[in-house]
Amino acid sequence: MAGITEIRRKAKLVNISDTIKDALEKKGLRSLKDASEVLGISSELLRVILNKGHLPKDKTLGMIAKKLDISAPHLILSAHQEKVPTEVKGFFLAPTASTNVNGQRKFPLSHEQCEYLERIMTPAEIQLIRKLRQVSDETKTQIFGYVDFMFATKRIRNNNGNGSGNGK
């Protein structure tokens, strides 16, 4: 269990209410009423997010992030980190900056790289990657969070001797 504590300590777990509060202060929005009008949400919803730790839907978080000029994947991932059990919070990876320019990949794969991937991956894996590249950033964040959560949960069960060892 010491390994999990160490991972959690090293992880940069962010509280979404603090992130939103900081962004509101940078924008000069001090009152709930003014802030809620700018964000396009009710002042009651904003109050429970900031003061009660309420975690809104991903769509709402994406809208808040856009209005406050903060990273939507970062805010959504932080919300998912808050929802999961403490034991697995450190297993979430932080989102990285996009390498897209005008909707196009900045560094597309070369022909040689594609051939290499075909040698090491099954057609189903390649199809999964193609499908993943077609979904929104918000959906990718949800998918990655779910996959990280499932692997972390299994790892914890196996380390505690509760895993069945048969992949289920």
Q: Where are the domains of the chain?
A: 2-94+107-159
Q: Above pLDDT 70, what percent of the chain?
A: 69
State the burial class of residue 30 (Cβ atoms within 10 Å of its Cβ: 0-12, 13-18, 19+): exposed
63-84 pLDDT, tens digit per residue, is: 999 999 988 877 887 787 777 7
pLDDT of residue 92: 57
pLDDT of residue 141: 87
pLDDT of residue 6: 41
Please work out, in degrees rounded to the nearest 5, the angle formed at the alpha carbon of residue 89 by the alpha carbons of 83 and 94: 100
State the burial class of residue 99 (Cβ atoms within 10 Å of its Cβ: 0-12, 13-18, 19+): exposed
Higher pLDDT, 44 or 83: 44
Q: Give the H/E segment covering residue 99.
A: none
Considering the entire predicted model, what is its pTM? Answer: 0.50
Chosen CATH of 2-94+107-159 out of 1.10.260.40, 2.90.10.10, 1.20.120.1200, 3.40.1080.10:
1.10.260.40
pLDDT of residue 162: 56
